[in-house]
Amino acid sequence: MNKKFNTTGVCIPSLHYMADTTDIIDQIINDYIEQGEYFTINRARQFGKTTTLELLYHRLKEKYIVIDISFEAADEYFQSLGTLARGLSMDIADRLEAQGAADDLCRMWTTSVSDEFPLRDFGKKITTLCSHSDREVILTIDEVDKNADNQIFLSFLGLLREKYLKQKSGRDHTFKSVILAGVYDIKNLKLKLHTLKESKYNSPWNIAADFNVNMNLTESKIAGMLCDYERDHHTGMDIDCISQQLYDYTSGYPFLVSRLCKLIDEQIAGTKEYPEKCSAWTKDGFQAAVKLILYESNTLFDDMIKKLDEYPELSEMIYTVLFYGKNIVYNPDNLTMDIGIRFGFLKCVDEQIAVSNRIFETRLYNYYLAEDMLNSSTYSASMQIKNQFIHGNILDMELILKKFVEHFSDIYADSSDKFIEENGRRLFLLYLKPIINGTGNYYIESRTRSMGRTDVIIDFLGQQHIIEMKIYHGNEYNLRGEHQLIGYLNDYHLQKGYMLSFNFNKKKQIGVHEVILNDKVLIEAVV
């Protein structure tokens, strides 16, 4: 059977192209399991948690008895303490039998559980198992936060905590290590996880160790996966280049990496533009895959939009970061930030909040801009004349700036400084969107985003354009911006760049002009 890139369910090394995460598995085993830690692998959706548990299972089962269960389809377990104890007993019996545990230990888990004190009875069975087994026992539970807002679940955690503490003092036998996997940090769960206004609940899982393992895929891990693919398909791709592109756009988010690879392999290759795999695994083929992923519906993006609806404070924070360029200092006690990071939408960079990767960022820009399109005169104006900006597959950025300056001056010249400062970037992106939509992609360079400056990178049919949008703060500031843009043009090996300045000076000279500086051509527009 031919291997494929997988984005649904657990990844199997013999069936799927996967990054080598041996070092991650080694770290978890050495730093946590061997040390007898209880912990939660709390990461965003589709971040490889289930695959990590599967890999851990295969590594650990030779030395330990590993009871691996999931709460994915276990809603009926949480009707009462009795149903939970009985349901888990059945699961444990199955897992013990599958791993060749002694018959008497397996039979013990098939006996009835006390109706009056089901958890106490369940706890005694754990003690008997762990004290009589010839191997130490490890418990793993996937999808643990499916029922994290249930008091019965908290009672179960309380039992594990009690036995853990007693074992530490030599008064009980229980699991060597317990691993829970879910989106939320169970140490700080709320009894109901539906709004940001609800108070935190002190979980019995406060015994757990902090899980500080980096599960993002590095460029080298991505390159290793592509090497595996290349051995089978011989495309001649530039592995270093493609792996860097994948990392630049995803920051190593496992689902996004695999999804882009899968799109190139299965949907880009074989098209009219990219008839062979060798033509698909190129920079242009990669950009075509980016275009597809930005407009497809998948479970990760669907969940993102759902979460923004559920948490309006989070949506407002992300909007502020994207369109106002506001620097928001990370505060670990801010619940909105914590939720954004838990969901994988945000990250902390140099003590500032940022959107976690380029794909998420562009998808979010598109989401917020879509709300404005129907009623936006700026979008409509650009839509009506969009065809005049493309000549022989070449995007005429200078003309775009000229027409935007004309439109902005006609419509928004008398607007307040505050309105222009807060909406200028959004209005330019609305103007740009119908022109490149369906043909090109754009993203915001996060390294330069601030209240003063935002760089838009446009990829259009193999061409790249850099447009610096900034608030004008005087000639000295403008000159510094020109030199910063030149440095950025050097990074991208480009000769021409563009600047769009929102100038509040009443004596400003509105229009577009050309500047030659250090052998670079800068097209500067002022509104």
pLDDT tens per residue, range 162-200: 999 999 999 999 999 999 999 987 876 554 444 444 445
Residue 58, H or E segment: helix 49-60
Summarize the confidence of residues 427-455 as an average pLDDT.
Answer: 78
Average pLDDT over the chain reads: 91
Q: Identify whether the C-beta of residue 190 lies closer than 8 Å to the C-beta of residue 201.
A: yes
Q: What is the pTM of this model?
A: 0.90
Read off the pLDDT band of 458 (50, 70, 90): very high
**What's the domain count of the chain?**
3
Kindly report which listed range (20-29, 66-75, 122-131, 140-149) carries the lowest average pLDDT score: 140-149
User: Which of 296, 311, 341 lies at the terminal end of a domain, its last residue?
Assistant: 296
Q: Identify whether the C-beta of residue 217 lies closer than 8 Å to the C-beta of residue 254.
A: yes
CATH of the domain at 164: 3.40.50
pLDDT tens per residue, range 368-378: 998 888 788 99
Residue 199 confidence (pLDDT): 47
Residue 346, H or E segment: strand 346-349
Give yes or no for residue 323 having a pLDDT over 70. Answer: yes
Q: Is residue 390 part of a domain?
A: yes
Q: Is residue 12 part of a domain?
A: no
Q: How far is 82 from 120, CA to CA, in rounded Å?
A: 10
Of all residues in the chain, the percent with pLDDT exceeding 70 is 95
C-alpha to C-alpha distances, 136 to 12, 162, 181, 212, nearest whole angstrom: 26, 18, 21, 24
pLDDT tens per residue, range 328-339: 999 988 989 999
Residue 73 confidence (pLDDT): 87
Question: Are 154 and 247 found together in one domain?
Answer: no
User: Which of 280, 296, 312 lies at the terminal end of a domain, its last residue?
Assistant: 296
Residue 422 confidence (pLDDT): 80
Q: Is residue 305 part of a domain?
A: no
Q: Is residue 403 part of a domain?
A: yes
Please tell me which residue, 450 or 429, carries the higher pLDDT value: 429
Q: How far is 188 from 464, CA to CA, in rounded Å?
A: 45
What is the CB neighbour count within 10 angstroms for residue 273?
A: 10
User: Which of 207, 228, 260 lies at the terminal end of a domain, its last residue?
Assistant: 207
Contact partners, residue 59, CB within 8 Å, separation at least 6? 25, 29
Q: Which residue has the tokens 């900034």?
A: 470
Question: Are 191 and 228 found together in one domain?
Answer: no
Q: Is residue 179 part of a domain?
A: yes
Q: Is residue 126 part of a domain?
A: yes
What is the CB neighbour count within 10 angstroms for residue 351?
A: 9
Summarize the confidence of residues 89-118 as an average pLDDT.
Answer: 94
Q: How far is 105 from 97, CA to CA, in rounded Å?
A: 9
Q: Is residue 57 part of a domain?
A: yes
* 486: nearest Cα among 508, 444, 511, 519: 519
Highest averaged pLDDT of the listed ranges 234-243, 348-357, 436-445: 234-243
Kindly report which listed range (184-198, 374-388, 482-496) carries the lowest average pLDDT score: 184-198
pLDDT tens per residue, range 54-94: 999 999 999 999 999 999 988 899 999 999 999 999 999 99
C-alpha atoms less than 13 angstroms from C-alpha of 209 in its C-beta half-sphere: 17
* 176: nearest Cα among 319, 327, 33: 33
Sign of the torsion formed by the C-alpha atoms of 509, 442, 316 and 447: negative
Question: Are 199 and 225 found together in one domain?
Answer: no
Q: Is residue 250 part of a domain?
A: yes
Kindly report which listed range (50-59, 426-435, 473-482) carries the lowest average pLDDT score: 473-482
Summarize the confidence of residues 10-36 as an average pLDDT.
Answer: 97
The 137-142 sheet, strands edge to edge? 38-42, 177-182, 137-142, 65-70
Q: Counting Cβ atoms within 10 Å, is residue 444 exposed (0-12), middle (13-18) or buried (19+)?
A: buried
C-alpha to C-alpha distances, 487 to 439, 465, 483, 513, 522, nearest whole angstrom: 28, 14, 6, 20, 12
Residue 447 confidence (pLDDT): 60
> What is the phi/psi pair of residue 324, to 5°?
-90, -15
Residue 449 confidence (pLDDT): 52
Give yes or no for residue 148 having a pLDDT over 80. Answer: no
Question: Are 263 and 399 found together in one domain?
Answer: no
Residue 267 confidence (pLDDT): 97
Question: Are 58 and 141 found together in one domain?
Answer: yes
Q: Identify whether the C-beta of residue 432 lies closer than 8 Å to the C-beta of residue 382.
A: yes
Residue 445 confidence (pLDDT): 75
Q: Which residue has the tokens 């995007």?
A: 395
Kindly report which listed range (211-215, 410-414, 418-422, 507-511) carries the lowest average pLDDT score: 418-422
By three-state DSSP, how is residue 351 classified? coil
Question: Are 146 and 292 found together in one domain?
Answer: no
3-state secondary structure 139-189: EEEECHHHHCCCHHHHHHHHHHHHHHHHHHCCCCCCCCEEEEEECCCHHHC
Question: Are 179 and 275 found together in one domain?
Answer: no
Question: Are 420 and 483 found together in one domain?
Answer: yes
Summarize the confidence of residues 296-315 as an average pLDDT.
Answer: 94
Question: Are 291 and 430 found together in one domain?
Answer: no
Residue 473 confidence (pLDDT): 75
Which domain, by its residues, includes 167?
22-207
Please tell me which residue, 160 or 426, carries the higher pLDDT value: 160
Give yes or no for residue 287 having a pLDDT over 90. Answer: yes
Question: Are 46 and 72 found together in one domain?
Answer: yes
Residue 397, H or E segment: helix 397-412
C-alpha to C-alpha distances, 97 to 65, 84, 89, 106, 130, nearest whole angstrom: 10, 20, 12, 6, 15
Give yes or no for residue 438 having a pLDDT over 80. Answer: no
Give yes or no for residue 481 having a pLDDT over 50. Answer: yes
Question: Are 27 and 176 found together in one domain?
Answer: yes
Question: Are 389 and 466 found together in one domain?
Answer: yes
Residue 453 confidence (pLDDT): 62
